[in-house]
Amino acid sequence: MRNRIWPLVLCIHFICIAAAAQNPAKSQLVLQVSKGGFVAFRSETSSTGSMTAESSDSLAALLYSQAFAGENQIIHRVLTDAQQNVVFGYDLWVSADPLTKKFSIAVLPADEGFRRTFLKDSAPLLPNRPFATFPKSTTQQTLDDGDAVSLELLVNQESGVKIVDVVKVTFDRSTLRDGNPQSLPRDFTLDAIALAVKNYQLSIDGTVVGKSKSRTGCTGALLWFYVPERGRFIFSLVPREGYEFEKIGVLDGNKIEFTASGERYEWLSSASILPNGGTWNLWVLLDTKYTPLFNAESSAPKGTQKGPNVFEKLAEALANRGATLTLGAPARARGARTTFVAPKSVMVGGADTIENLLPKGPD
């Protein structure tokens, strides 16, 4: 198998204004094309700078991958955040020849008609929002069975952070599992049970500090949210060896409740957090060392700039998660009763394993 780097790189200053599938972008997404072929998409993040692998995984976990089979051998490819804000979109033309075992592909800018339809369905209040996409089409390229190409979608020139789409074609779907351990058969564990929070509302001592109307929400064997000045809270149905989880929470239907540092937290979802509902004890870990990969404040337009560029929009979307409140930081005086002030921003997410969130146990 060959992995080619497609000579079509899109940096910040170049950015212009039926069947479907969706999953976290770091997982592989597979669609069948005509004449028995398959095309697989997987997004990766990397950095030429000082960003750690942990930070890279955290960014990948905040992206969602979608692909839609269109007409005339076109696949519409879209990356979004959990609130359906579009990070990047493009079209892929794929033709499969089972006799020669070869594929022909070409990359095109996102189709305008598809863009409008997608935004109408996913973000009806913002139907005219532009897609970040490639500025022009590539020439047609021939690939052998099992070949892959890498497309650099976004590059932040200052930090060196890259978002890359890896596109692989094959006539044998079983070979797609070889490079994706998550698709291999596994023994059943509690990590196979996904928790999910959608259309959430987060309150501290009865005051709403964050909310989102996302239909996608966040899912995983573990869920988490981050509140500035307080840290990141990670939730698990079971304790995790090597990590300081405490059994202080309760999962009751569509609600997670717990108390930490004298404050009562309530995280509400529009639907049951567990598929079969019920009331369960919940293990909670406070990660005080967590620092968001993107700072919401730093992504705001500066000076006379007409508006944020696409990477700044990405930073804002991933950092705020649709739950920004600019009411100031909380202030307390010892022994004095103060008015509660909501934190500036809230982030939420999910993960398949604790190692994806905290690669090493606490010292």
Q: Are residues 155 and 278 in the same domain?
A: no
| pLDDT, tens digit, 9 for 90 and up, residues 158-209 | 767 788 889 999 999 888 764 555 555 667 677 778 899 988 999 999 999 9
Is residue 128 in some structural domain? yes
The tally of domains found in the chain comes to 2
The model's confidence at residue 347, banded by pLDDT at 50, 70 and 90, is: confident
In the chain, what is the straight-line distance between the N-terminal and C-terminal CA atoms, in Å?
A: 42
Calpha distance 213→199 (Å, rounded): 4
Q: What share of the chain in percent tops pLDDT 90?
A: 34
Does 363 reside within a domain? no
According to DSSP, residue 14 is labeled: G
Of 103, 43, 27, 46, nearest in space to 78 by CA: 43
CA 117 to CA 262: how far, in whole Å?
47
- The verdict on 167 and 198 lying in the same domain is no
260 vs 3: which has the higher pLDDT:
260
pLDDT number for residue 128: 65
pLDDT per residue as tens digits for the range 59-72? 555 677 888 888 89
The answer to whether position 98 is within a domain reads yes
Measured CA to CA, the distance from residue 241 to residue 161 in angstroms comes to 32
pLDDT tens digits for range 275-297: 888 899 999 999 998 877 544 44
- At position 334, the amino acid (one-letter code) is R
Mean pLDDT of 259-278: 92
When pLDDT is averaged across residues 128-155 and rounded to a whole number, the result is 88
Kindly state whether residue 362 falls inside one of the protein's structural domains. no
| Residue range(s) defining the domain that contains residue 271 | 190-356
Domain boundary, last residue among 116, 149, 180: 180
Query: Do 158 and 56 reside in the same domain of the chain?
Result: yes
Together in a domain, 232 and 337? yes
**How do residues 66-123 score in pLDDT, each as one tens digit?**
888 888 999 999 988 766 678 889 999 999 999 999 999 999 999 998 888 888 766 5
Answer yes or no: do 175 and 287 share one domain.
no
| CA 90 – CA 260 distance, rounded (Å) | 44
Q: Which residues pair with 86 in a beta bridge?
A: 80
Examine the domain organization and report whether 174 and 209 are in the same domain. no
Size of the chain in residues: 363
Same structural domain, 228 and 267: yes
Last residue of a domain, one of 148, 180, 212: 180
68: nearest Cα among 13, 125, 29: 29
Whole-model pTM? Answer: 0.52
d(CA 283, CA 241): 12
d(CA 180, CA 174): 11
Q: What is the distance of C-alpha 184 from the center of its chain?
A: 22
Whether residue 361 lies inside any domain: the answer is no
User: In the structure, what pLDDT confidence band is assigned to residue 248 with cuts at 50, 70 and 90?
Assistant: very high
Residues 176 and 231 reside in one and the same domain:
no
> What local confidence, expressed as pLDDT, does residue 247 receive?
96
Rounded CA separation 98/328 (Å): 61
**CA torsion angle 316 88 196 226 (round to 10):** -20
pLDDT, mean of residues 216-229? 86
For residue 291, how many C-alpha atoms fall within 13 Å in the half-sphere facing its CB? 5
Note whether 137 and 217 are same-domain residues: no
- Do residues 77 and 145 both lie within one domain? yes
